[in-house]
Chains A and B, each alone.
Chain A
Amino acid sequence: MVEPKIKAPHLRAPTAETVLPLSRVRTIMKSSMDTGLITNEVLFLMTKCSELFVQHLAREAYAASCSKETSDTLKYEHLSQLVNKSSNLEFLLQIVPEKIRVHTFQEMLRLNRSGTTSDDDDDDSESESESESDE
Chain B
Amino acid sequence: MVERIEDLNLPNAVIARLIKEALPDGANVSKEARAAIARAASVFAIFVTSSSTALAHKQNHKTITAKDIMQTLTELDFESFVPSLSQDLEVYRKVVKDKKDSKASKKDASGAADATASGSGATEEAN
Query: Contact residues of A with B, CB < 8 Å?
Result: 4-7, 9-10, 12-17, 19-21, 24-25, 27-42, 44-46, 48-59, 61-62, 72-76, 78-80, 83, 87-88, 91-92, 95-96
Contacts and interface: CB of A to CB of B under 8 A. Distances in A.
Interface in B19-70: 19, 21-24, 26-30, 32-33, 36-50, 53, 57, 62-66, 69
Contact of A75 (B32, B49, B50): B32
Interface of B: 1-2, 7-8, 10-11, 14-15, 17-19, 21-24, 26-30, 32-33, 36-50, 53, 57, 62-66, 69, 73, 76-78, 80-81, 83-85, 87-96, 118, 121-123
Which secondary structure dominates chain B's binding surface?
A: helix
Given A12-B84, A41-B93, A50-B44, 20 more contacts: A14-B91, A31-B8, A34-B53, A36-B62, A36-B64, A38-B63, A39-B65, A46-B45, A49-B69, A51-B18, A54-B15, A54-B40, A55-B18, A55-B21, A56-B78, A72-B26, A74-B27, A88-B78, A92-B40, A96-B39
A54 B19 contact: yes
Classify the interface of chain A: helix, strand, loop or mixed: helix
Contacts, number: 214
